[in-house]
Amino acid sequence: MANRSRNIPIKHIIGFVTSVVLTFVAAWTALRSNLPVMWVIISILVLAVIQAAIQLFLFMHLTERGAGNTPWNMMFHGAVLAAIIVAGSLFTMSFGFM
Amino acid sequence: MGLDEFFVTGEPLIYAGMVAIVLVSGAIIFLLTYFKKWKWLWREWLTSVDHKKIGIMYILSALAMLFRAGTDALMMRTQLAFPDMNFLDAQHYNEIFTTHGTIMIFFMAMPFLIGLMNIVVPLQIGARDFAFPYVNALSFWSFFFGAMLFNVSFVIGGSPDAGWTSYTPLAGAAMSPGPGQNFYLLGLQLSGIGTLATGINLMVTILKMRAPGMTLFKMPIFTWSTLITSFIITFAFPILTVALALMTVDRIFGSQFFTLTGEGLPMMWANLFWMWGHPEVYIVILPAFGIFSEVIATFAKKRLFGYNVMVWSLILIAGLSFLVWVHHFFTMGAGAFVNSVFSVSTMAIAVPTGVKIFNWLATLYKSKIKTTTAMMWALAFIPSFTIGGITGVMLGMAAADYQFHNSYFLIAHFHYVLVAGTVFGCFAGLVYWYPKMFGHTLNERIGKWSFWLFVIGFHVCFLPQYFLGLDGMPRRVFHVVPEWFNLNVISTIGAFGMGLGFAVFVYNIYYSYRHSEREKTGDPWDARTLEWATTTPVPEYNFAVIPHVKSHDAYWDMKQKGETIYDESKLEPIHMPNSTGRPFIMMAILAFTGFALVFEWIWLAVAGLIGALVIMGIRSFDYDEGYHISVEDIKRTERSARGQSHELR
């Protein structure tokens, strides 16, 4: 801790700015772009994947050594949970109309 | 907006509440000024990052919230005691059952347990603080200000009145205009930040900061339950955060996620709410299971029976808790197949829970039970909780649930699990760890009085409610008919018994502070786990020398071999974090932001958000390295703490 470098964390700044920009692009696509609904959905999904990649590689220590399997472990559980939320919601909320 | 719209008017009980608030706040300000304690309050408490002090603040706040929501409960029971009572009107009754439920879950049960985790977990694993002490302070203040934001609603703006589940479309802007529901959304959102941060914080603390030698399967069971709970928090709370945010956007900015118009899906709220809500009930019960396991093992003087199975059943319960949420709304009509799937998964949870019940019984079997107050809470828990569990299985059968749904049978069921599980657990934990926190035990005689009053009151209050439900009394009605009179009046008597039990409990805190013998050994119960190896009061650094753990029940084995954790030759300077006022200030600003959003004063809210961002920016450039405690200081502290109790070894 004592010899923390005070260099400008260029990687983090790039990541931060990119993620903010991506967020604004996604909001603009949904609110103002006049694209067909399907294209809006596809483009915000693509933006979301890029966003997630930026978070994982620039901020979430995925590239760091020494963390072992922990990040992958948490990502696995997160993915399972996301699957439960999406599939479970479709399953229960479709009321037999699917 | 006139002042008469800002303040709640026309209700004598609420005027009385306002007077009480003014008097109590005035008294506190006067006392702090008179005894010149402002500086002490700021330096020792409000800016502290010490997990023990934060834990105590959590528990004090939770007790205050228990009082507030308990008063709500007594007012409800008074209204329901006799047919056609006019103690509360319909609107006031709606507000009170909403705040009762919300406060009990979010601002009583969770902070009480998190408070105990705060104090106990670092001590149990031989750590000097949380992994992120600064974040821990941030968590506490986010909970505290969230709770205050929610609580102020009953005098300013009006309380939410759509139930603690806040179902749309009723809770939407069209059917509940005004600030009430916004208080619910923003109060919970603010405190949710803290809960999520605590979940991550505890997870990292337990995974990374255990004493050398303490493998995962040598951890005390309370630490295990905390770890599992942290996982549930981290995975479940984002769902609530998103759902709350969507409804906030719906109400304040006019989107249509949960509305009846514009292709909104009102039942999606119920779906998301219970996706979080079911794991939430395990967030408040698993730590209680952990507490009971510790208490039972200590006072049965045995190693916990089936420790490994206990851990695995915790993990299994946690996993299953994400797969059962639909049983809260079987009657939505998702169809027979959907309901059957969730009916089966619900009943599967009874298996690991049953395993735990039998393990506790097996721990007690042929043991020499010491019936201290803490142990009595634990012993009362087992049969009471089992009744709640069995009726839970009844509710879990989808076909039968169409009869039980939203009746008093349900009310009785979840009070049997939440009071007999969580509240008994909180009391057991507080009594058990009280000497570690405050340096004296609670008086046993008065403690048993409060125990018997509360437990008997509890059964008298809630057992009749099962039968009221079978007699067809629905929840959330404010007038009872004569057919339900007998059981209701019994239930109300029981509720006041519980109130009396709580009053005696609080009196016991005062009485013991004045009269209890000061505790000097650090281990008044002859207990088994590492937290009891520290001296009382626990020094700010917890462990002068980090202990080496060789077995489960580490301290018990040390005592058998006549070892202590202290070795003067191994002392090194200890690195500690500095106190900081920023978490307090940041969360105060965010509470102000939330308050502005409640009244939809957008520009004021934007100003508040900018203020919070500025504080976060300042934090980003914070090069505070903490400080070191010198070996000399440690020696002095340890000698004075240990010199009185037993000679240095």
Which chain A residue has the Cα nearest residue B208? A67
Contact A84 B338 (CB under 8 A): no
Q: Give 3-state DSSP helix, strand, coil % of chain B, rounded to 5.
A: 70, 0, 25
Q: According to the model, what pLDDT value does residue A34 have?
A: 86
- The residues near B497 (Cβ < 8 Å, ≥ 6 apart) are B453, B454, B456, B457, B458, B460, B461
CA separation for the pair B450, B465 (Å, rounded): 23
Residue B40: pLDDT above 60?
Answer: yes
CA separation for the pair B174, B259 (Å, rounded): 8
Higher pLDDT, B379 or B6: B379
Number of domains in chain B: 1
Report the complex ipTM. Answer: 0.85
pLDDT digits (tens, 9 = 90+) for A56-96: 888 877 777 776 777 788 889 899 999 999 999 999 988 65
Nearest to B271 among A2, A81, A89 (CB): A89
Q: According to the model, what pLDDT value does residue B645 have?
A: 46
CA separation for the pair B351, B453 (Å, rounded): 32
Nearest to A95 among B326, B335, B623 (CB): B335
Nearest to B239 among A4, A85, A95 (CB): A85
Residue B19: pLDDT above 60?
Answer: yes
Q: According to the model, what pLDDT value does residue B537 have?
A: 85
Nearest to B334 among A84, A85, A92 (CB): A92
Tokens of B479: 């007038």
Sign of the alpha-carbon torsion through B528, B529, B535, B536 = negative
Q: Is residue B603 one of the residues assigned to a domain?
A: no
Residue B74: pLDDT above 90?
Answer: yes
Band of residue B646 on the pLDDT scale cut at 50, 70, 90? very low
**% residues pLDDT > 90 (chain B):** 82
Chain A positions touching B625 (Cβ under 8 A) are 1-2
CA separation for the pair A76, B44 (Å, rounded): 42
pLDDT digits (tens, 9 = 90+) for B152-167: 998 898 999 999 999 9
Q: According to the model, what pLDDT value does residue A97 have?
A: 59
The number of residues in chain B equals 649
Chain A positions touching B271 (Cβ under 8 A) are 89, 92-93
Q: According to the model, what pLDDT value does residue A6 have?
A: 60
Which chain A residue has the Cα nearest residue B204? A70
Residue B86: pLDDT above 60?
Answer: yes
Tokens of A78: 């997160």
Do B477 and B411 contact (CB within 8 A), yes or no?
no
Chain B positions touching A1 (Cβ under 8 A) are 625
A96 part of contact set with chain B, CB < 8 Å: yes
Band of residue B9 on the pLDDT scale cut at 50, 70, 90? confident
Average pLDDT, rounded, for chain B: 93
Q: According to the model, what pLDDT value does residue B246 have?
A: 96
- The residues near B641 (Cβ < 8 Å, ≥ 6 apart) are B535, B536, B537, B539
CA separation for the pair A41, A29 (Å, rounded): 9
The CATH number of residue B246's host domain is 1.20.210.10
Which chain A residue has the Cα nearest residue B200? A74
Q: According to the model, what pLDDT value does residue A96 have?
A: 54
Nearest to B625 among A1, A6, A78 (CB): A1
Chain A positions touching B341 (Cβ under 8 A) are 91
Chain A positions touching B240 (Cβ under 8 A) are none
- From the CA of B203, how many Å to the nearest CA of chain A? 12
pLDDT digits (tens, 9 = 90+) for B419-474: 999 999 999 999 999 999 999 999 999 999 999 999 999 999 999 999 999 999 99
In three-state secondary structure terms, B402 is helix
- The residues near B36 (Cβ < 8 Å, ≥ 6 apart) are none
pLDDT digits (tens, 9 = 90+) for B544-560: 999 999 888 889 989 88
- From the CA of A92, how many Å to the nearest CA of chain B? 6
Nearest to B326 among A4, A6, A92 (CB): A92
Q: Is residue B610 one of the residues assigned to a domain?
A: no
What are the distances in angstroms from CA B116 to CA B53, B59, B231, B334? 11, 7, 17, 40
Nearest to A95 among B207, B325, B334 (CB): B334
Task: Calculate the CA dihedral of residues B510, B512, B514, B517 and round it to 10 degrees.
Answer: -170
Contact B268 A91 (CB under 8 A): no
Q: Is residue B614 one of the residues assigned to a domain?
A: no
A89 part of contact set with chain B, CB < 8 Å: yes
Sign of the alpha-carbon torsion through B162, B165, B168, B172 = positive
Q: Which domain holds residue B177?
A: 37-580+624-643
What is the average pLDDT across B3-15? 82
Domain boundaries, given as residue ranges, for chain A: 1-60, 67-98
Contact A88 B275 (CB under 8 A): yes
Residue B57: pLDDT above 90?
Answer: yes
Q: According to the model, what pLDDT value does residue A5 have?
A: 53
pLDDT digits (tens, 9 = 90+) for B168-213: 999 999 999 989 999 999 999 999 999 999 999 999 999 999 999 9
**% residues pLDDT > 90 (chain A):** 42
Residue B539: pLDDT above 60?
Answer: yes
Do B157 and B8 contact (CB within 8 A), yes or no?
yes
CA separation for the pair B374, B358 (Å, rounded): 20
Question: Which of the residues A92, A97, A98 would you substitute to probe the B interface, choosing the one with the greatest number of B C-beta atoms within 10 Å?
Answer: A92
The number of residues in chain A equals 98
pLDDT digits (tens, 9 = 90+) for B316-355: 999 999 999 999 999 988 888 999 999 999 999 999 999 9
Do B240 and B252 contact (CB within 8 A), yes or no?
no
Chain A positions touching B275 (Cβ under 8 A) are 85, 88-89
Farthest CA pair distance, chain B: 76
- The residues near B435 (Cβ < 8 Å, ≥ 6 apart) are B441, B519, B524, B525, B536
Closest-CA residue to B234 (of A28, A43, A58, A70): A70
pLDDT digits (tens, 9 = 90+) for B116-155: 999 999 999 999 999 999 999 999 999 999 999 999 998 8
What's the alpha-carbon Rg for chain B, to the nearest Å?
25
Question: Of all helices (H) and strands (E), which one includes residue B574?
Answer: strand B574-576
Q: Is residue B9 one of the residues assigned to a domain?
A: no
- From the CA of B316, how many Å to the nearest CA of chain A? 14
Termini Cα distance of chain A: 56
CA separation for the pair B203, B135 (Å, rounded): 13
Which chain B residue has the Cα nearest residue A92? B334
Do B135 and B70 contact (CB within 8 A), yes or no?
no
Q: According to the model, what pLDDT value does residue B248 have?
A: 96
pLDDT digits (tens, 9 = 90+) for B212-230: 999 999 999 999 999 999 9
Q: According to the model, what pLDDT value does residue B562 have?
A: 85
Q: According to the model, what pLDDT value does residue A1 have?
A: 40
Task: Calculate the CA dihedral of residues B46, B52, B58, B61 and round it to 10 degrees.
Answer: -70
Instruction: For residue B330, report the phi and psi dihedrals to the nearest 5 degrees.
Output: -50, -40
CA separation for the pair B97, B92 (Å, rounded): 9
Closest-CA residue to B1 (of B156, B161, B155, B182): B156
Q: According to the model, what pLDDT value does residue B7 have?
A: 85
Amino acid letter, A56:
L
Question: Which of the residues B271, B346, B576, B620 would you substitute to probe the A interface, choosing the one with the greatest number of A C-beta atoms within 10 Å?
Answer: B271
